[in-house]
Amino acid sequence: PAAFVPVAEETGLIVDVGEWVLLEAARQAVAWRQAGTPVPVAVNVAASQLVQGDLPAVVADALTRAGARPADLTLEVTESAVLTDLDVAIVQLDAVRRLGVAVALDVFGTGYSSLAYLQRLPADELKIDRSFVATVGEDAVSTAIVSSVVDLAHAVGLVVVAEGVERADQVGTLISLGCDRAQGFH
């Protein structure tokens, strides 16, 4: 992805790739549900997908074609993607949420104005960047940051996901801090 995605973005193919990924993610979610393991699938949305075209229509089409439920998908957006055109992003994400599809703010805490966007962006989840999670429980500053972000997110009604969880001690610390979910190799 580190090599492919920038090329797709430069050539303008990222929008088509993004549409394909949404459809395949919806199909996979349906397959898992039918197999008895209902797991929502999170899909990263590129900045150009967010501000070009009609993202809500693309999402609705993927759900319909796959026979998926809105709860089967979560769209993940980064602050940098939203910054491309904040007003358009807000309209697009609000419409996606009205479809019943969750929106997650990805790699939270690494951008320039993260707190300001919490006020304006329609979101359901906040994902704490792995750079903070890596030393949670070991480093007092990282632990304080994660604790504060969890409290802040909960105060504004967001579910909190910690990214990059790789060890049992991180899980224990995150649970004690009230983190709702963990994502990683553990």
Give the separation between CA 73 and CA 109, rounded to whole angstroms: 23
Q: What is the pLDDT of residue 113?
A: 57
Max CA separation in the chain (angstroms): 48
Distance of CA 141 to the CA centre of its chain: 24
Q: Reading across the β-sheet that carries 125-128, which strands appear in turn?
A: 41-44, 73-78, 102-108, 125-128, 159-163, 181-183
Which segments in the chain show pLDDT lower than 70? Answer: 111-114
Report helix, strand and coil shares of the chain as percent, to nearest 5: 55, 15, 30
User: Which of 20, 33, 103 lies closest to 68 in space, CA to CA?
Assistant: 33
DSSP state of 106: E
- What pTM does this model have? 0.90
Q: Are 121 and 153 in contact (CB under 8 A)?
A: no
Q: How far apart are CA 147 and CA 143, in angstroms?
A: 6
The residues, ordered by sequence, that sit 6+ positions from 9 with a Cβ below 8 Å of its Cβ are 46, 48
Instruction: Tell me the CA end-to-end span of the chain in Å, nearest whole number.
Output: 22
